[in-house]
């Protein structure tokens, strides 16, 4: 839409990723007037690189998952000079889910209670039971494919049957059984049968590079069409410069910049932020008209405790034909064997493993990247490439403990296309994570060997797009930014519905949790609207 009503809205949502999509749909469905401002644009699945022969090269340039490499109009600069990680991010309708692998995992019960069970970090103000009904609702809404009954979780089921685990999944499952290690058929937000507006997965196997046929529950497809049908208005190319606040300290809208560079104003009775763990603190810190240290920041914790989930991975090659070109990718199987604390391992918390097919020949060859020239080129390229269809990759989501020294701040030296400050990350992986990476790499080699791998190659650590912790929830306004409902302690009509509210990162992919928490917060906003203080 191009024109906005000049009358005051019920709710302004900022950011059209998973959190913003769920909140917009939930509130619009209940009759609230909702506008969502999104700095990026829609992505047509048909434009995704996956159907093109050069797709692997396109994903290293204009379709890169890294904003600094992609340098799209909607991307803002990310200064990672002082960071151990260069996180994945996508600015557009659907947000990071456009490029996610759709591994659809719930946090474990212990993830909410790390202080109580492990004596470190803080407990969340909510627990697994509080979120379980919302996990269920979102699963049903987007059509998650999976098999219920995993003994690692409290009982729950999925609306769609699981995908085949394929020859590679079977081979690895047999290896895991030999070792006595947990595994389970993958839970994926990828429809195993046609669901609503999404077709059945056709197993291109490139989910993490964007599904070229729209058969993945990225939130531009799985939620936004329903949100707009319910009456939510989505404005793309709309970059929020700051949230505005009235004299009573209530949020009353935002100043935003359109694609022509014009500064515009929108008014609302409540504001919901969904910019995720880097975008949300960036906007709060830019909202410094009346708050020099940023909006909702009396605790000083806006932008602190950044968690990024390092990802380790080990590729195994096999003599058996594994048909590794079959998706989804997606996870064929997952393992929670090492997802929880066992102090004898030398670190606290753990990692969820996902078994995935490679995303292409170049992806396989990336595993030679740190080899010497003589061990990388010539026959070595040909030999490893010949295993592309006979290889599988274990990758681990390394739980990343919160540390106040890991931060997002404004980088005024580098601006986006609207002249707004970029974001600077100060992030160091801690010793606990480093020990965990070493442990997981070694166990993944064992798993491949038990499954019959002829060779294993450990990849350099990579980054995830899991942007967490920078506006954490809690009961105490001195030690948290939002309360248990996602409401800012300092601004009672400002809510946050993205990964920034997570107190600890957990050892699983976070999108299911972000979506469930957004649904819980938005439902609460709707149910308590009568009592909500609004600007005069």
Applying the rule CB under 8 A, the residues between 323 and 362 that interact with another protein are 325-327, 336-337, 339-341, 360-362
Q: Which CB sits closer to another protein, 116 or 248?
A: 116
User: Counting contacts by CB under 8 A, is residue 169 touching another protein?
Assistant: yes
User: Counting contacts by CB under 8 A, is residue 378 touching another protein?
Assistant: yes
Region from 74-82, 175-183, 217-225, 444-452 binding another protein, contact rule CB under 8 A: 175-183
User: Counting contacts by CB under 8 A, is residue 162 touching another protein?
Assistant: yes
d(CA 505, CA 508) in angstroms, rounded, equals: 8
Residues 399-438, interacting with another protein (CB under 8 A): none
Binding-site size for another protein (CB under 8 A) equals: 76
Region from 75-83, 318-326, 391-399, 425-433 binding another protein, contact rule CB under 8 A: 318-326
Six token digits for residue 194: 């046609």
Task: Please enumerate in sequence order all residues whose Cβ is within 8 A of that of 175, keeping only pairs 6 or more positions apart, or say none.
Answer: 447, 448, 449, 450, 451, 452
* Whether 25 contacts 232, CB under 8 Å: yes
User: Counting contacts by CB under 8 A, is residue 363 touching another protein?
Assistant: no
Helix (H, G, I), strand (E, B) or coil at 494: strand
**Peptide bond just before 395 cis, omega within 30 deg:** no
Q: How far is the CB of 86 from another protein (least distance, A)?
A: 16
Region from 136-144, 193-201, 260-268, 425-433 binding another protein, contact rule CB under 8 A: 193-201
d(CA 49, CA 39) in angstroms, rounded, equals: 22
* Whether 451 contacts 172, CB under 8 Å: yes
User: Counting contacts by CB under 8 A, is residue 460 touching another protein?
Assistant: no
User: Counting contacts by CB under 8 A, is residue 381 touching another protein?
Assistant: yes
Pick from 4, 42, 58, 255 the residue near another protein by CB under 8 A: 58
Q: How far is the CB of 47 from another protein (least distance, A)?
A: 12
User: Counting contacts by CB under 8 A, is residue 127 touching another protein?
Assistant: yes
Pick from 6, 247, 260, 379 the residue near another protein by CB under 8 A: 379
Residues 254-293, interacting with another protein (CB under 8 A): none
d(CA 422, CA 411) in angstroms, rounded, equals: 5
Count CA atoms closer than 13 A to 275's CA, side-chain side: 29
CA distances from 44 to 8, 167, 210, 221 (A): 32, 32, 10, 10
Please name which of 226, 207, 205 lies closest in space to residue 218, comparing C-alpha atoms: 207
Q: Which CB sits closer to another protein, 337 or 483?
A: 337
Strands (E), 274-326: 311-317
Residues 90-109, interacting with another protein (CB under 8 A): 108-109
Residue labelled with tokens 């100060």: 426
Pick from 101, 175, 214, 389 the residue near another protein by CB under 8 A: 389
d(CA 281, CA 83) in angstroms, rounded, equals: 17
Residues 200-239, interacting with another protein (CB under 8 A): 200-204, 213
Other CB atoms within 10 Å distance of the CB of residue 442: 12
Region from 160-168, 404-412, 435-443, 449-457 binding another protein, contact rule CB under 8 A: 160-168
């Amino acid at each position: 839409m191009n024109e906005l009503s000049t009358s005051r809205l019920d709710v302004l949502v900022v950011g059209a990723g998973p959190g913003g999509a769920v909140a917009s749909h939930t509130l619009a469905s209940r009759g609230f007037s909702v506008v969502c401002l999104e700095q990026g644009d829609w992505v047509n699945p048909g434009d995704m690189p996956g159907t093109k022969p050069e797709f692997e090269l396109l994903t290293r340039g204009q379709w890169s998952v890294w904003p600094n490499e992609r340098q799209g109009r909607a991307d803002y600069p990310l200064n990672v000079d002082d960071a151990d990680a260069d996180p994945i991010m996508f600015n557009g309708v659907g947000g990071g889910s456009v490029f996610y692998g759709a591994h659809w995992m719930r946090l474990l019960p212990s993830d909410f209670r790390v202080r109580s069970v492990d004596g470190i970090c803080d407990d969340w103000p909510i627990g697994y039971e509080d979120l379980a009904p919302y996990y269920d609702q979102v699963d049903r809404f987007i059509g998650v494919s999976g098999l219920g009954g995993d003994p690692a979780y409290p009982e729950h089921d999925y609306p769609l049957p699981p995908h085949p685990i394929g020859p590679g999944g079977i081979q690895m499952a047999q290896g895991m059984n030999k070792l006595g290690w947990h595994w389970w058929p993958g839970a994926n937000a990828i429809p195993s049968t046609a669901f609503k507006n999404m077709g059945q997965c056709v197993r291109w196997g490139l989910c993490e590079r964007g599904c070229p046929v729209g058969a993945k529950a990225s939130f531009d497809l799985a939620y936004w069409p329903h949100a707009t049908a319910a009456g939510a208005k989505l404005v793309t190319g709309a970059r929020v410069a700051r949230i505005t606040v009235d004299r009573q300290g209530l949020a009353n809208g935002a100043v935003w910049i359109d694609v022509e560079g014009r500064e515009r104003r929108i008014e609302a009775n409540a504001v919901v932020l969904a910019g995720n763990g880097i975008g949300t603190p960036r906007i709060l810190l830019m909202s410094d008209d009346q708050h020099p240290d940023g909006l909702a920041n009396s605790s000083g914790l806006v932008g602190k405790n950044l968690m990024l989930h390092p990802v380790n991975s080990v590729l195994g090659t096999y003599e058996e034909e594994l048909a590794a070109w079959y998706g989804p990718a997606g996870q064929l199987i997952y393992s929670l064997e090492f997802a929880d604390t066992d102090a004898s391992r030398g670190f606290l918390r753990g990692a969820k493993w996902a078994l995935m097919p490679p995303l292409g020949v170049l992806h396989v060859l990336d595993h030679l990247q740190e080899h010497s020239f003589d061990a990388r080129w010539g026959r070595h390229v040909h030999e490893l490439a010949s295993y592309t269809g006979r290889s599988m990759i274990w990758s681990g989501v390394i739980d990343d403990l919160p540390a106040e020294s890991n931060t997002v701040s404004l980088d005024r030296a580098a601006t986006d296309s609207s002249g707004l400050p970029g974001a600077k990350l100060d992030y160091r992986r801690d010793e606990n994570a480093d020990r965990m990476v070493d442990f997981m790499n070694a166990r993944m080699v064992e798993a491949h060997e038990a499954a019959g791998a002829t060779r294993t190659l450990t990849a350099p650590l990579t980054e995830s797009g899991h942007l967490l912790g920078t506006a954490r929830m809690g009961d105490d306004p001195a030690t948290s930014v939002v309360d248990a409902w996602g409401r800012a302690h300092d601004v009672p009509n400002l809510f946050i519905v993205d990964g920034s509210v997570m107190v600890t990162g957990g050892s699983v992919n976070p999108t299911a949790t972000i979506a469930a928490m957004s649904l819980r917060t938005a439902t609460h906003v709707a149910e308590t609207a009568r009592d909500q203080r609004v600007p005069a």
